Amino acid sequence: MDKNNFSRDEIVRILDSEDPAVSDELFQNARRIRSKIQGDKIFAYGFVYFSTYCRNNCNFCYFRRDNGIERYRKSEEEALAYAKALIDSGVDLIDLTTGEDPLYHQEAFATFANIVRTIKQDYGTPVMVSPGVVSHEVIDKLREAGADWYALYQETHNRDLFGKLRIGQDYDERMNAKLYARDSGMLIEEGLLAGVGETSEDVADSLLTMGEIGARQCRVMSFVPQEGSPMEHSETPDRSRELKIIGLMRSLYPEALIPASLDVDGISGLKDRIDAGANLITSIIPPMSGLMGVAHSVMDVDTGGRTIEEASRILGEMGLRIATRREYIDYMNEVLRK
Ligand code: SF4
């Protein structure tokens, strides 16, 4: 299968195939492509989810507005302390994430921008921002503060399904925020959720859309049911689907950053995702910080499972290693921004 390009029909055929030889060939090809482009290097992001307040009510999400959970909003100093600890542990970038916190909207993202500025300028570390849908002015402010990436996941590119998942939200407003960020010089990440009622054709459309909009980081995560949400009793999909999507992304977009998220299955899910062609570990969280993940909000966090040390050990057994920050910055500037 030594090819990089798949038509929509071919993508659907691979997704629907139950033949293990088809997956094996896909993953082998994905690993070959990754190794040709970046050798034994795997990138790693630290995750600082510093406010779990959200004005939205996404049906799949634990942090949706109407879920009566305990929430936190970390101070600027706390967020920076977590970021610094992650940087010192060896991550390549800090992913600053929040729910769509009404307070940050009220204060026009001044605190968020301060955090970005300190991490970028004082700590010399690349930054991804994931604040949800924000105005063009806020995107400008975060970019000027030094944010390299804007992550905003559509989750599906089927508009009907989008409407059922992201209740009351506007598909085009979300997409346009992402495109504005791209056009103003930021790198963008697009993402999809697997196992939320999408068809294989929907997945193929999402994969092709990621290329069309110029996403340089492409993410897939399996849906995990969240307590207290309307989808609490829906089933989590078999992981073979997520792995195939990772393999397809690698084949379609050889240079893209494709995460193996520790958020879905914790550290035990790392190897399979790297084997499928992922080249980036996301959701590394400082232990004992009280910070949360997204899909599996606490899994492996306080036991120290989601750390660089643990990820490095697993990669080492696979003949791989975590890239240095310098290597990541070079990759971002010389490959992703070219
Ligand atoms: S997915 Fe994001 S926007 Fe939607 S409810 Fe959860 S935190 Fe809010």
Ligand 1 binding pocket includes 64 (Cβ within 6 Å): yes
The answer as to whether 3 is a domain residue is no
Residue 198 lies in a domain: yes
Question: What does the radius of gyration of the chain's CA atoms come to, in whole angstroms?
Answer: 18
Q: Is the residue at 1 inside a domain? A: no
Tens digit of each residue's pLDDT, the chain (338 residues): 445 789 999 999 999 999 999 999 999 999 999 999 999 999 999 999 999 999 999 999 999 999 999 999 999 999 999 999 999 999 999 999 999 999 999 999 999 999 999 999 999 999 999 999 999 999 999 999 999 999 999 999 999 999 999 999 999 999 999 999 999 999 999 999 999 999 999 999 999 999 999 999 999 999 999 999 999 999 999 999 999 999 999 999 999 999 998 888 989 999 999 999 999 999 898 777 777 777 666 667 666 678 899 999 999 999 999 999 999 999 999 999 98
How many structural domains comprise the chain? 1
Burial status of residue 304 (CB atoms within 10 A of its CB: 0-12, 13-18, 19 or more): middle
DSSP E strands, 52-156: 93-98, 127-130, 149-151
Six-digit token pair at 281? 């570990």
How many angstroms separate the alpha carbon of residue 49 from the centre of ligand 1? Answer: 12
Count other C-beta atoms under 10 Å from residue 338's C-beta. Answer: 6
Distance (angstroms) between ligand 1 centre and the Cα of 263 equals: 15
pLDDT for position 294: 72
Q: What is the pLDDT of residue 3?
A: 56
Read off the pLDDT of residues 3-54 as tens digits, 9 standing for 90 and up. 578 999 999 999 999 999 999 999 999 999 999 999 999 999 999 999 999 9
Whether residue 257 lies inside any domain: the answer is yes
Cβ of 231 less than 6 Å from ligand 1: no
The reply to whether 2 falls in a domain is: no
Q: Is 54 in the pocket of ligand 1 (CB under 6 A)?
A: yes
Residue 108 lies in a domain: yes
Please tell me what DSSP assigns to residue 257.
B
- Rounded CA-CA distance 154/148 in Å is 19
Q: 158 lies in a domain? A: yes
pLDDT of residue 189: 98
What range does the domain containing 143 cover?
8-336
How many A from CA of 113 to the centre of ligand 1?
Answer: 20
The secondary structure of the chain in percent helix, strand, coil, rounded to multiples of 5, reads 45, 15, 40
Cα–Cα nearest to 255, from 313, 326, 330: 330
Question: 68 and 228 in contact (C-beta within 8 Å)?
Answer: yes
Task: Establish if 243 belongs to a structural domain.
Answer: yes
Ligand 1: which of 49, 51, 57, 58 to mutate, judged by most atoms within 8 Å of the beta carbon? 58
**How many angstroms separate the CA atoms of 37 and 211, rounded?**
18
The pLDDT value given to residue 1: 47
Q: pLDDT per residue over 131-169, tens digit each? A: 999 999 999 999 999 999 999 999 999 999 999 999 999
d(CA 307, CA 284): 5
Answer yes or no: are the C-beta atoms of 36 and 2 closer than 8 Å: no
What is the per-residue pLDDT for 298?
Answer: 67
* CATH number reported for the structural domain that contains residue 197 in this entry: 3.20.20.70
What pLDDT does residue 2 have?
A: 47
